[in-house]
Structure 1
Amino acid sequence: MPLPLDDRDGRRRCRDCGEWKLLDEFCASSKRPSGRGSYCKPCFNERSKASYAKRVSERYGREVKPARELPDGHRFCADCGTVRPVADFPRNRSDSTGYATYCKPCHNTRTSETKQRLYGGNREYHLRRRYGVGQKEFDELLAEQGGVCAVCAAPDPEHVDHDHRTGWVRGILCFNCNGGLGQFRDSPVRLARAITYLRGTTWQRVLIHPGVYQMCSPTRGRPPSQRS
């Protein structure tokens, strides 16, 4: 099939705006031999918006608000109704712009309200999301421990200790004990070596001459002077 005259030089006239443009500036269309439609992309977008507004009006009886014109690098928050720089919006990889719909204060407020509605608060959300237990299970486990840290017996511990390999909860610990196990990477070998180190390597300051001291250990280094 011969191409229309307006397609032979790689240009076409838009049926809406009447301008001659390159075929690449027209929307794709499988119905045309050239693979391009009759309307340029800006005109096609305007037609699509008008068609959508008409369908909404006929089906729901309401008007579609026109698109809001925003300065470059800015975004409109529908909650507080303000125009803010995109830096004031959280990142969102699922959005085409890379940013969330609501500004950070509104986003935080919505998140808190959702956690309160679904979980009863941040504490319950945190426990269930990270450890798979709720405040009820936390209280029951703490009661089994007598209300104290499972390691040092400090009262009122608040931290859930879990096996990083399996994810299973092991007990309730205070801040220091929970952090200490993490620093030792939950390794019984490292903890055993630390115990041996503490028991057998106690350095002391020993007087070896008047006014002269030396750090000595019962298992390492120079033994204390006999004159001390």
Structure 2
Amino acid sequence: MSDSSKMGDGVRMCRDCGGIKPLTDFHASPKRKGGRGSYCKDCFNERSKRSYAKRVQEKFGRQVREGRTVPDGHRYCPDCEAAKPLTDFPQSKAGRGGYGGYCKPCHNFRGKASVERRGGSREYHLRRRYGIGQVDFDELLAEQGGVCAICGAADPQHVDHDHRTGWVRGILCFNCNGGLGQFRDNQLFLASAIEYLKGTTWQRILIHPGVYQMCSSSRGRPPSRSS
């Protein structure tokens, strides 16, 4: 007579702990009678842990570290080896449960150490974005005479590069770098802009030594009285 018939419908005796438990406390097993395993879930998990530890010992010659108990609403930080409330961990969409794997102090320490290994945030930004370092930046700026390659403004800090090839072209000021980006590096657009300005901008023309005349634009409208 089977265990389930001895215990009654819907229950089974675990072969390890001897407990009489509902069938839902046993893992599904199509190969077993009644479609459930012979060991309750708790005992089955313990058997799995012991089996895994044995295999690791035989194959790698090391012990499996015992699992740690972490209270609800807490997380274990592997760096400081302490269980802390979730509020002590930085939020992270990629992390388990929406939080990072290290507490805030350890997370910040790791970030600073990473920046120092890369040579500082500026060095990291230049190399990641443009493939050059601060030394390359300084050398290129020196070749330009220390000024913006377009307008000649002093102390430019923006790297201009070809968006198609990634090739660095020069060092520009904020306005010139943004202007090229707005015109999408299109020479035709830039040439059209020059022609547009020639036809719409008021110009000062020398009509006599020391005497200039302001000539109006050939296109456009005069400003309104309310402007």
- Give me the TM-score of the superposition, normalised by structure 2: 0.67
Map 1:208-227; keep pairs closer than 5 Å: 218-221=217-220
Structure 2 SS opposite 1:126? helix
Q: For residues 43-192 of structure 1, what are the structure 2 equivalents within 5 Å?
A: 43-48=43-48, 64=66, 66-71=68-73, 74-79=74-79, 81=82, 83-85=84-86, 88-91=89-92, 93=94, 95-117=95-117, 119-192=118-191
Structure 1 residues 151 and 19, CA gap change in structure 2 (3 angstroms): farther
Amino acid at match of 1:174: C
Please, which runs of 5 or more residues in structure 1 have no aligned partner? 205-215
For the aligned residue pairs, the C-alpha RMSD in angstroms reads: 4.0
Q: How many residues align?
A: 206
Equivalent position amino acid for 1:218 in 2:
S
**Counterpart residue type for residue 126 of structure 2:** L
Q: In the alignment, which residue of structure 2 is the partner of 1:213?
A: none
Amino acid at match of 1:128: R
Give secondary structure in 1 for the equivalent of 2:116.
Answer: helix
Deviation of residue 63 (structure 1)? 6.5
- Partner Cα separation in structure 2 for residue 185 and residue 34 of structure 1: 71
Cα deviation, residue 90, structure 1? 3.7
Say whether the 8 Å CA contact 1:163–1:170 is kept in structure 2. Answer: yes
The whole-number CA distance in structure 2 between the counterparts of 1:177 and 1:34 is 77
Q: TM-score, normalised by structure 1?
A: 0.67
Number of the residue aligned with 1:6:
4
**Residues 148 and 200 of structure 1, relative CA distance in 2, 3 Å threshold:** same
Identify the residue that residue 212 of structure 1 maps to in structure 2. Answer: none
Q: Which residue of 2 aligns with 1:207?
A: none
Contact 1:112 1:122 in 2 (8 A): no
Tell me, which stretches of 5 or more residues in structure 2 are unaligned? 204-214
Q: Which whole-Å deviations, capped at 9, do the CAs of 1:195-214 have from their partners, x for residues lacking one?
A: 2232221269xxxxxxxxxx
Q: Which moved more, 1:129-138 or 1:102-111?
A: 102-111
Deviation at 1:14, TM superposition (A): 3.3
CA distance in 1, matches of 2:86, 2:163: 40
CA contact (8 A) 2:53 2:63 kept: no
Shift of 1:176: 2.1
Would you say the 8 A contact 1:163–1:169 is kept in 2? yes
Task: Quote the sequence identity (%).
Answer: 62
Aligned to 1:209: none
| CA deviation after TM superposition for structure 1 residue 101, in Å | 0.5
Distance 1:5 1:180, change over 3 A: same
What is the Cα deviation at residue 48 of structure 1? 4.5
CA distance in 2 between counterparts of 1:31 and 1:70 reads 37
**C-alpha separation between the residues in 2 aligned to 1:143 and 1:11?**
84
